[in-house]
Chains A and B, each alone.
Chain A
Amino acid sequence: MKTLSLRNLGKTYFDPYAGAHVTAVHDVSLDVEPGEFISVVGPSGCGKTTILNMIAGFIPYSKGDILLDGKPVHGPGPERGVVFQSFALFPWKTVLDNVGFGPKMRGVPKAERDRIAREYLALAGLSHAAHRYPNELSGGMQQRVGVVRALANNPDVLLMDEPFASVDAQTRMTLQEELTRIWQERKPTVIFITHDVPEAVFLANRVVVLSKGRVLDEIAVDLPRPRVWDDLVKDDRFKQLSARVLQMVRAA
């Protein structure tokens, strides 16, 4: 696994409606160590999704560098897996074929990629849904598929763009707990974008607070794992950290 570095990253684009250049990301520098789980929080419009889209290679960046293991990245690639807020599952493929899509693109034969897909589906407790289509699943189940689809491709970095924002509150808590469990088992490098402060603190080793296209502060989260909501809601350390991050986000 490889280190991801953002060096003085910036994004300026022309807004035809405003008739002017708009700077969404000013100057962001960040190093992500292999196996680290980073949450990026900030109010809407702070540039967090823009940063993620630049790392994913969906949009070009205007200045600075994005380096993966020292090499600059341009355009999307399988070493940077993405989990979307919209799930972005292929509706015409079964759950099994969705999860096996990455291996299929690498030329892994059918039997082998089915085995890989089943292994990852089991990890998310979805073995029973292998042959169903995405629209036959609940939102929470769809996003579980979205997460393991990205993981099954063994990316160096997993980019998650507010992945649990469109599921109900109870399901979201379950998904958060499952994600920490899976992270502990597999130790992928994760950059998790969210506007939900407790979510950011619950999941991460480190919370990065963004404001107006700049990094405002970084807070290390030294809470023990495994983390479950039943314990953490009563935990003073968790409350302190959440309060601190929330204060910064609100002031941002």
Chain B
Amino acid sequence: MNLMLQIWAGYARMTRRWPGISAIIPFIPVLALWTAVSESGLFPRAFFPGPGDVTRAFFTLTYKGILPDYLQDSLIRLATGAAVGMALGIPLGILIGTSRWAHRICWPVLLFLQAIGDIAWLPILLIWFGFGLTTMTFVIVYTVLFPVVLNTVLGVESVPRDLARAALSLGASRARVLWEVTLPGALPNIITGLRNGLGYGWRALIAVEMIVGTSGIGFMMFDARRAGSTVEIILGMIILGLLWYIVDAWILAPIERATGQRWGLVTS
């Protein structure tokens, strides 16, 4: 009993000093189960590889330079798509959020287009733009756009009316109100939208790379299927999860917290 308490206390101290560790712990049983099943010989190795095989594939592919190249291609595509999606989505969201007319005109169209999922655009995009970067970028931008627009609208509408009134009666012009009140007031929601958008965009990217790609993590996984290389497929899946965890937990979530909590706009 005493030993258990000591272990628990040690764990608490350790996770406080390195918070990242608490994220790794839950994966230990998953890893153990995976090892046990693959070692048991229940399935053929080529069909169900173990953690060791996947780790070896990771080092081989990294050494050959394939993995870093593909990873870079995927990330650049995602970053480009996200940047364009934000550049379009934030102004559009502010317009819809501030103008009743823009809201009336754009909102039904937005909901209509949102229902046509990213992948549903692929057939027509392939005819229009062929198998290339334009098609991929279009899909990512399309995926990132909606969460950003919808959350920006939500953010703009959630800024208390008195704040804009206060700014106006302190001498701010309409343009200054937009810059000094509307935009910072909507920022926590905009970041939430971006966080969702990047999450959807990341998944859409992998799907598109499988169909359109000549490089990228999605392409690597689909190409491995042709060669029957389960190791590379599983490696790809793990990279998807890990990379998203890093982007979300280490970059996006802290930004979201920093804006929302400091200002008391988000309570958690």
B166–A82 contact, CB under 8 A? yes
B162–A91 contact, CB under 8 A? no
Count chain A residues whose beta carbon lies closer than 8 angstroms to a beta carbon of B. 29
- A135's closest neighbor in chain B, by CB? B264
Determine chain B's interface SS by DSSP, over half rule: helix
A88–B163 contact, CB under 8 A? yes
Shortest 6 CB-CB contacts between residues of A and residues of B: A135-B264, A78-B171, A76-B168, A105-B171, A88-B162, A91-B263
Binary flags per residue of A42-86, CB closer than 8 Å to B gives 1, else 0: 000000000000001110000000000000000111101110101
Binary flags per residue of A100-136, CB closer than 8 Å to B gives 1, else 0: 0110011000000000000000000000000001111
| Alpha-carbon separation in the docked complex, A56 to B168 (Å) | 10
Contact among B165, B169, B180 for A90, CB-based, below 8 A = B180
Kindly list 17 other residue pairs between chains A and B, CB separation below 8 angstroms, not including A90-B180, A91-B264, A105-B172. A57-B169, A58-B165, A58-B169, A76-B169, A77-B171, A78-B170, A80-B169, A81-B170, A82-B166, A90-B163, A91-B263, A92-B259, A92-B262, A101-B167, A101-B180, A105-B167, A134-B264
B-chain residues with CB within 8 Å of residue A81 when the two chains form the complex: 169-170
Binary flags per residue of B13-45, CB closer than 8 Å to A gives 1, else 0: 000000000000000000000000000000000
Count chain B residues whose beta carbon lies closer than 8 angstroms to a beta carbon of A. 23
B181 in contact (CB, < 8 A): yes
- A155's closest neighbor in chain B, by CB? B169
A-chain residues with CB within 8 Å of residue B165 when the two chains form the complex: 56, 58, 76, 82, 84, 88
B-chain residues with CB within 8 Å of residue A102 when the two chains form the complex: 170-171
* B7–chain A nearest beta-carbon distance, Å: 38
| Alpha-carbon separation in the docked complex, A233 to B228 (Å) | 90
| Alpha-carbon separation in the docked complex, A150 to B264 (Å) | 22
| Alpha-carbon separation in the docked complex, A105 to B184 (Å) | 17
A92–B171 contact, CB under 8 A? no
| Alpha-carbon separation in the docked complex, A56 to B167 (Å) | 12
